[in-house]
Amino acid sequence: MTLIVRDLVPTDAADTQGWVRVRRAAVPFMVTTPESVAFELSTAHPDKKMRMLLAEEDGEVIGAATAGIAYDSTEPGQSYVTPYIHPDHRGHGAGSLLLRAAEEHLSAEGATAVYAWVLDAPESRAFAEKRGYRPTRPLHFQRLDLANGDALPARQPLPVGVELRTAADFLDDPRPVFEADAEATADEPSDISTDFADYDDWVNHTWNHPLLDRGLSTIVVAEGRVAAFTAAQTDGLTRYWSGMTGTVRAHRGRGFAKLAKNDSLHRARAAGYTEAYTSNDADNQPMLAVNRWFGYEICASEVRHVRKLG
């Protein structure tokens, strides 16, 4: 048995397909495509120092990892890595090799702390803790059966002065969407504080991301301004992922997040998507309650871990 770790080549279809195969097997509730893998690596901000690594066993891709510097963090030295191993090939040492290669890369780029998401399973947590990682906060993945015609709440009348648009309506000027995303993201629970101020970077890596379905991403406009939104990511086949749902501070408590998400989910179902997934911090009770109202059920959990480097 020969086991190696190497860099993914974004122009190599076998590499990107192998990456997707591993990630779908390891975390089936997340949406990913070969096109999105190639996009994320080839367009990564230079300061991210991003690497996508593959673990091969006798020429077969059995593991994958993304590592990079949180260059937009307000605290220098923050970084991230999460290795994924195909369930049929765990225990062969691929996870250790991937993690070691990623940590060496991050340390060489000046990282002093590395964060990783770990499945909330005894063997996964033991793997992380054995290598010096300590848990910080849990997250829940949730699934909604869109194929069930009764799964979604009925559409509600819109309040006076409120209208629903899609992200596609902002193609000429997406800055209002960026501003709402920046404000909502700033209030999201996170281990790494972020200075979300680079509009051009947001356009390049969020607005232009191949998974973003602008036609299914709903924007709530109140009194002529963006008040709330939900960003829909899809695989173009059957799976829908809520990339982000947020409301600007001035309009919170008015049910706009529900309006946005309900509209998007109804249109996703009409477009033929059969499974909807999302995730929330376990402490984010408002959004967990919103998702329960839609009929989402927890399908898996992860725990954020951190290790100090150097």
Mind listing the pLDDT tens digit for each residue in 259-308? 999 999 999 999 999 999 999 999 888 889 889 999 999 999 999 999 99
pLDDT of residue 189: 64
| CATH entry 1.20.20.10 includes domain 3-111 | no
For residues 95-99, give the mean pLDDT: 98
Q: Model confidence at 91, in pLDDT bands (50, 70, 90)?
A: very high
Q: Model confidence at 149, in pLDDT bands (50, 70, 90)?
A: low
For residues 221-230, give the mean pLDDT: 96
Mean pLDDT, rounded, of the chain: 94
pLDDT of residue 52: 98
pLDDT of residue 148: 79
Q: Model confidence at 72, in pLDDT bands (50, 70, 90)?
A: confident
Mind listing the pLDDT tens digit for each residue in 103-123? 999 999 999 999 999 999 999
pLDDT of residue 197: 79
pLDDT of residue 150: 73
Mind listing the pLDDT tens digit for each residue in 155-174? 989 999 999 999 999 999 99
Question: Would you say the pTM of this structure is higher than 0.75?
Answer: yes
Whether the pLDDT of residue 234 is over 90: the answer is yes
pLDDT of residue 285: 87
pLDDT of residue 142: 97
Numbered ranges of CATH 3.40.630.30 in the chain: 3-111, 144-301
pLDDT of residue 195: 64
pLDDT of residue 185: 86
Superfamily in which the 144-301 domain is placed by CATH: Gcn5-related N-acetyltransferase (GNAT) (3.40.630.30)
pLDDT of residue 276: 97
pLDDT of residue 192: 64
Instruction: Return the minimum-mean-pLDDT range out of 49-53, 220-224, 286-290, 292-296.
Output: 286-290
- Of 79, 81, 156, 154, nearest to 116 (Cα)? 81
